Structure 1
Amino acid sequence: MAKINLLDKQVAELIAAGEVVERPASIVKELVENAADAGATSIIVEIQGGGIRLIRVTDNGSGIERADVANAFLRHATSKVRVSEDLSHITTMGFRGEALASIAAMCRVELLTRTREEVAGTFYSIAGGEEERLEDAGCPVGTTITVRDVFYNTPARMKFLKKDVSEGNSVAAVVEKAALANAGVAFKFIRDGAVKLQTPGDGQLISAVRCILGREFAEGSIPVRYQQGQLVLEGCICKPFIARGSRTMQNFFINNRFVRSKTCMAALEEAYKNMLMIGKFPSCVLNVTIPPYEVDVNVHPAKIEVRFANEKSIFDLVYYGCKTALGASSLQPEIKAEDVKYSPFSISQSQEIPRQERMSASQYRLVVSELPEKKAEVYSPVSNRTQPLAAERLSFTEKPVPRSVSPTGEPMRVPSLQPSAATAVLESENFLDETYDLRKKPMLDIEAEPEQVPQPMPQDPYENARLIGELFDTYLVLQNEDQMILIDKHAAHERLLFNRLTSGGIAGEKQLLLAPVSVKLTPDEHAAILDNLKLLSDAGIAIENFGDGFVVVREVAPVLAKTDLELVVTELAQKLLSYNHHLLPRQLEDLYHTIACKAAIKAHDKTSSLSLKQLVTLLREDGSATHCPHGRPVAIRMSRYEIEKKFGRLG
């Protein structure tokens, strides 16, 4: 009895269809790609029941001629490939001719289509691979494909589908990727009757990014445009301070085809080296334009994976493109104030927020003098309050303020801060010549009117910056025009040292130690140090072999003189040992990072005002010290507009 059977047509089609149609999201992907290939500028995707009960994709593309409608649902029938040579020049999303045949083999399908040249449209229905109807129909130019009852004839596949919510989320992800890949196409996604996504299709990537990835990503994105020979990288990447805890927002496209590429992912994350905290990953929307013959898209039935003829060229393109974009952008985070909400504690509070009007003190007196004899009511968020608030009973004293009056015509008295410990510290550190003294200005000034619109941040964050003081012995406070800058002194100093080490700027600055430092190492660590004496000398540490597992440090760069050299050398030896004596550029940066971290000013250290001023000067001269090697930001900024918005001073 024969053991090898020839499968009949229906079974063979179901097996083949299983390679393409895994779930409703697979169907949507194939139909949307066909719509894009047809030149559509508008695509509407509608699903019900997670796409299991209904999928409808409508486009305004070129449509399908009636003579080709039935053939479109045959296996290996395609308009995009004719001869074998065409496979090396594929520029369309679909090309295998398997999508419609696979969908029709497992679902009930209805097609409504018309080309611009045809007077009447065509209605076609097919279920389980068997044709049902082909007739005239009225419809606009384009194509509408309706898919119902996914896997209705293959219950074994049906049981592996997830809940409607999960399947619907997968469909939404497919639509989002397609919208990011085709910024010139207006997408609308309707889920169970509700519009969940709509993009303008204006050809601007940032518009699609704002709709799909959110306002925070759009406003914190950095445009990327980089060319290397015939390869072009375009898109946008996130600023380091809005990096995420996963890679879910990394979107890579090859010739506008969404792909999963370990090469692109590794290059992107390498570009962010020493800018991100551990456990954080950059987000991106990046498209690589590459000659079709340099990439093989025929690797996976779902076309989600590709193979490059030259992986290194792709890595270099993404790495240098992103690195260049990061270097040209201001990477300091900016603090945004939340919308000010008035007190919810008063039941008599008006629903309309009172508007702040601009008037001088003399104008205010004139208005008050014309009021009736009845005392004017003053707006108070808490009515009928007889006891002072706790904050008013602390260290405030009453102080009259000139040119300010109450509605009754009496001089208005406002609280004034007593000299605090913080002020005393500033005085002792000789900061008063550069410090805005709160005691010289009233806390309330009826003539002071804040700016009504936020002012743009200066391109150079430290240009004309004025040192105000130090906060918590950790953060420098600067004022630069209409913005406040907070600098983490440890992160700033660490980054400056790291930059000097990587540029070789410390090698020639070594000085002799009054007392050489000897360090005991294990035999393996001792050998690792001796194999890299030149490298360590270039990094500012001159080491000699003292025999018997000992090394001696006789010269160091001045910035390392006060560090625990024994600890530094031991840690460097352990790192060198873990690298097996073969240093790659990334590992070399790790060594420099270790040295910079040990030598930098520490948080909570007492630092002289002269040193703090010098640190600001070095930051201004460096220009690229935006993040420490750990990835933490060196500085954050907050505009005067945001501060005054926080205090409710804006009308």
Structure 2
Amino acid sequence: MAKIHVLDKHVAELIAAGEVVERPSSVIKELVENSIDAGASIVTVEIRRGGVTYMRVTDNGCGISREDVATAFLRHATSKVREKDDLDAILTLGFRGEALASISAVAHVDLITKTADSEIGTHYASSGGSDIQIEDAGCPNGTTITVRDIFYNVPARMKFLKKDTAEGNAVAGLMDKIALSHPEISFRLIREGKETLHTPGDGKLVSAIYAVFGKEFSTNLLPVDYALGGVRVWGFISSPLGSRPNRSMQNFFINGRFVRSRTAAVALEEAYKGSIMVGKFPACVLHLELSSAAVDVNVHPAKLEVRFVNERPVFDAVYHGVKSALSASREMKSIDLTARAKPLVHPYKPDIVEKPVQTRLSAPPAERSAPKPPERNPEPPRMPLSFSDSAPRSIEPIRPADIQSSIERILDEEPQPVKPILAPERRPEIIVTDVEVEPEDELPTLQKAEPVMQPAAESADFEAPVHTVIGEAFDTYIILQYDNETLMFIDKHAAHERLLYEQLKSRSEAAAAQTLLAPVTVTLDKSEYTAVLANLRVFADAGFDVEDFGSGTVLVRSAPLNLNGADIESSVLEMAGYLEQCKTDVTTEHMDWVYHNIACRAAIKGGSASKREELIALAERLEANPEVRYCPHGRPIYVMLKKKMLEKEFGRV
């Protein structure tokens, strides 16, 4: 009996459909790309239940003629590629001829189309790859395709779909990328009867960015327009202050197609080196235009990856284009120091004109008058009380004759007995004992330690260990003298971070939070947006009150007490990126990372000066927790330096 046989046509189509149609967003991608290739200027997408039960794509493109409708649903039927050489110059988004055949094999499909030279349109229906009917229909120019009940005949694929919200967000994320790739086309997305995206289609990329990511993101961008080696790079990049904790907002488009390009991403980040902090990443919406013969787009089933004939010109164009944009943003406008200040009008009394304060830089060097000789009884200087007062007087020059007379006067005076220099009053030493610190107290107030009485059985020469805070080095390291034999250097950021981490971890209830006067708006990538909405409980346990604001945006109404306003948005962004990448659903691992994040951002920053009381309090808290030796990232909190080591370095021993 033969073991090798040819598969049935229907089974073969179901297998082939799995390479093209993975989820509802795959269907939307193929249909919208066909609309773009058809020359549409308006594309409307409508989905219900995340696209699982209903999807509809409407465009005003060229349409499909009656005789081509049935052929379009056959496998490998396309109007974009005819010969082998056409694969070397692909200028369209679709070219394989598998989309409509794969979609119709796993769903119910209805198509209504009409060309400009036809008087009546065509209605075509297909279910599971089988033709149902083809008839006349009244419709405008263009094409409308409705897809219902995806995977109705493939239950094994149906169970791998995610929740409706996650599938809908995947479609929304796809539409964001397509809208940014073609700003000349107006795109609309309607989810559950509500419009969530509408781009103007005016051909301006910044308008599409505004519609997709909102005002806050679009106003913090720098323009890029650069050409080198046959590659043109244009679009927008984020300013160094607008850097993000991950790469989710890096969008690259090659000849109007959204791609993931490692070459372009590395060039972008190399150009930002020295402009942003380590561990931060720039955001961008960059279009690359190059010859179709220099790039191969037929290397990935979803066409998300491409290969370049030569990667060097692409890298150089992106690198120098971004570098030029950053350099242009740093150029300061020249300030005319010779310009005269205009008279100031009193805000409450317009009839009073006040004189502006003149500075030494307000007049050119040629107009400066020579210094006047010192007066015998000069009037003591006074602070200007109002705008009408004159500016502070200039410093009078010292003449050589005055210096000589002062020296002669000092030599002629009788020597006065030198008073003994009294030693400054010695401050009481700080005796570090076990201090019980409440978890809620971030920096307990310092109290004077009482002398420690030793038992009579011990030696009379015994002295309790004494920690004396000597000071702070580089605004980062606390210096303590320990037992007159050892110096201890404490990394204040690492120590405070670990103490806060243990404090958060020891609480069984939700972390203490503060209600914000003005909610903080956080713009997310659609995949991160989905992860945040799926893990709202994790944010609540960490002290964040996060709620959905729609269209990839969330509102933060409360945050942990230890975080300041500048760190709230960054914390939410980092947590969103982590939750989006984390495939497991173990809450303990989530919370442990969340505590790391909050503690790191809330801790005292290295390089920032601290008061002496804060240094002492932090040292006491560290002494009260002797098991704390490393920060949550594994770095040591303190190092010890013996006195003998110093004496050895200075040659004393």
**Coarse TM-score class (shorter-chain normalised):** 0.5 to 0.7
Residue 329 of structure 2: SS of its match in structure 1?
coil
Structure 1 residue aligned with 2:300: 300
Q: What CA distance in whole angstroms lies between the structure 2 residues aligned with 1:190 and 1:166?
A: 15
Question: Corresponding residue for 1:317?
Answer: 317
Residue of structure 2 equivalent to 1:109 = 109
Residues in 2 aligned to 1:156 and 1:62: alpha-carbon distance in whole angstroms: 37
Could you list the per-position Cα deviations for residues 440-464 of structure 1 after superposition, in whole angstroms to 9, with x for gaps in the alignment?
A: 479xxxxxxxxxxxxxxxxxxxxxx
Q: How does 1:339-418 map to 2 (within 5 A)?
A: 360=349
User: What are the within-5 Å matches in structure 2 for residues 236-315 of structure 1?
Assistant: 236-315=236-315
**Residues 512-551 of structure 1: matches in 2 within 5 Å?**
none
Q: Distance in 2 between matches of 1:108 and 1:306?
A: 32
Residue 320 of structure 1 aligns with an amino acid whose one-letter code is: H
Instruction: Give the match's secondary structure for 1:245.
Output: coil
Give me the whole-angstrom Cα distance separating, in 1, the residues matched to 2:142 and 2:265: 37
In 2, the alpha carbon distance for the partners of 1:3 and 1:331 equals 74
Counterpart-to-counterpart distance in 1, 2:269 and 2:331: 16
AA paired with 1:57? V
Distance 1:307 1:209 in 2: 27
C-alpha separation in 1, matches of 2:225 and 2:330: 17
SS in 1 for 2:75: coil
Structure 1 contact 88–292 (Cα < 8 Å) conserved: yes
- What is the alpha-carbon distance in structure 2 between the residues aligned to residue 83 and residue 281 of structure 1? 43
What secondary structure, in the 3-state scheme, does the structure 1 residue paired with 2:236 have? Answer: strand
Q: Which residue of 2 aligns with 1:54?
A: 54
Q: Contact 1:240/1:331 (CA < 8 Å) preserved in 2?
A: no
The answer (yes or no) to whether the contact 2:107–2:148 under 8 Å persists in 1 is yes
2:229 and 2:313 in contact (8 A); partners too: no
Q: How far is the alpha carbon of 1:362 from its aligned partner?
A: 8.7
For residue 360 of structure 1, report the CA deviation from its aligned partner. 3.0
Q: CA deviation at 1:202?
A: 0.2
Where structure 1 has 5 or more consecutive residues not aligned to the other structure, the ranges are 333-356, 364-435, 443-489, 492-601, 606-651
Q: Is the 2:63–2:115 Cα contact (8 Å) retained in structure 1?
A: yes
Residues 108 and 150 in structure 1, CA contact (< 8 A), matched pair in contact too: yes
Kept in 2, the 8 Å contact 1:238–1:284? The answer is yes
Per-residue deviation, 1:213: 1.8
User: Whole-Å Cα distance in 2 between the matches of residues 251 and 68 of structure 1?
Assistant: 36
| Partner of residue 87, structure 1 | 87
Shift of 1:5: 2.5
1:197 aligns with 2:186: no
Distance 1:128 1:105 in 2: 4
Whole-Å separation in 2 of the counterparts to 1:105 and 1:604: 67
| 3-state SS in 2 of match to 1:328 | helix
Counterpart of 1:215? 215
**Matching residue's letter, 1:205:** L
Measured after TM superposition, the shift of residue 195 of structure 1 is 0.4
Quote the RMSD (CA, aligned, Å): 2.4
Partners of 1:255 and 1:289 within 8 A in 2: yes
Cα distance, 1:604 vs. partner? 5.4
SS state of the match for residue 58, structure 2?
Answer: strand
Q: Number of aligned pairs? A: 352
SS in 1 for 2:131: strand
1:464-613 alignment runs, 5 A limit: none
**Does the CA-based 8 Å contact 2:45-2:56 persist in structure 1?**
yes
- Spell out, residue by residue over 1:461-517, the C-alpha distance to the aligned partner (whole angstroms, 9 max, x if none): xxxxxxxxxxxxxxxxxxxxxxxxxxxxx99xxxxxxxxxxxxxxxxxxxxxxxxxx
Change (3 A) 1:359 1:55: same
Counterpart Cα distance in 2 of 1:173 and 1:29: 11
Which residues of 2 match residues 155-174 of structure 1 at below 5 A? 155-174=155-174
> How many angstroms does 1:439 deviate by?
5.8
Whichever residue aligns with residue 46 of structure 1, its letter is E
Amino acid at match of 1:23: R
| TM-score (structure 1 length as normaliser) | 0.52
Matched residues in 1 for 2:347 and 2:215: separation? Answer: 33
The alpha-carbon deviation at position 112 of structure 1 amounts to 0.6
- The whole-number CA distance in structure 2 between the counterparts of 1:267 and 1:182 is 23
Aligned to 1:31: 31
Q: CA deviation at 1:280?
A: 1.3
| 2:245 alignment partner, SS class | coil
Q: Which residue in 1 is equivalent to 2:225?
A: 225
CA contact (8 A) 2:229 2:317 kept: no
Q: What is the SS of the residue equivalent to 2:134?
A: strand
Structure 2: which 5+ runs fail to align? 333-345, 353-381, 389-473, 476-606, 611-653
Letter in 2 for 1:316: D
Work out the CA distance in 1 between the residues paired with 2:383 and 2:101.
Answer: 78
Q: Sequence identity, in percent?
A: 56
**CA distance in 1: counterparts of 2:25 and 2:68, whole angstroms:** 26
Q: Which of the pair has the greater relative contact order for Cα pairs under 8 Å at 6+ separation?
A: 1
What's the offset of the Cα at 1:130? Answer: 0.3
Could you report, residue by residue, the CA deviation over 1:150-179 in whole angstroms, capped at 9, with x for unpaired residues? 111000000000000000000001111010
Cα deviations across residues 541-578 of structure 1 (Å, max 9, x unaligned)?
xxxxxxxxxxxxxxxxxxxxxxxxxxxxxxxxxxxxxx
Cα distance in 2 between the residues matched to 1:285 and 1:251: 5
Structure 1 residue 300: Cα displacement: 1.1
For residue 61 of structure 2, what is the amino acid of its counterpart?
Answer: G
Give the Å deviation of 1:358.
7.0
Within 2, Cα distance between the matches of 1:322 and 1:89? 28
User: Does the Cα contact within 8 Å between 1:20 and 1:26 map onto a contact in 2?
Assistant: yes
Q: 1:246 to 1:603 in 2, by over 3 A?
A: closer
How far apart are residue 3 of structure 1 and its match?
2.2
Tell whether the 8 Å contact from 2:106 to 2:154 is kept in structure 1 after alignment: yes
Distance in structure 2 (CA, Å) of the matches to 1:438 and 1:104: 84
Corresponding residue of 2:64: 64
**1:24–1:150 contact (8 Å) kept in structure 2:** yes
C-alpha displacement of 1:107: 0.6
1:185 corresponding residue in structure 2: 185
The answer to whether the 8 Å contact 2:120/2:137 transfers is yes
Based on CA coordinates, which of the two structures has the bigger radius of gyration?
A: 2
CA positional deviation for 1:4 = 1.9
- Cα 1:300–1:331 change in 2 (3 A) is farther
State the one-letter code of the partner of 2:65.
Answer: E
SS in 2 for 1:79: coil
Shift of 1:361: 8.3
Q: In structure 1, what residue type is equivalent to 2:217?
A: F
Deviation at 1:57, TM superposition (A): 0.4
- Once the two structures are superposed, what CA deviation does each residue of 1:327-366 show, in whole Å capped at 9, x if it has no partner? 111389xxxxxxxxxxxxxxxxxxxxxxxx9753899xxx
- Establish whether residue 97 from structure 1 lines up as the match of residue 86 from structure 2: no
Paired amino acid for 2:349: S
Paired letter, 2:132: E
Supply the AA of the counterpart residue of 2:244: R
Q: Give 1:148 shift.
A: 0.4
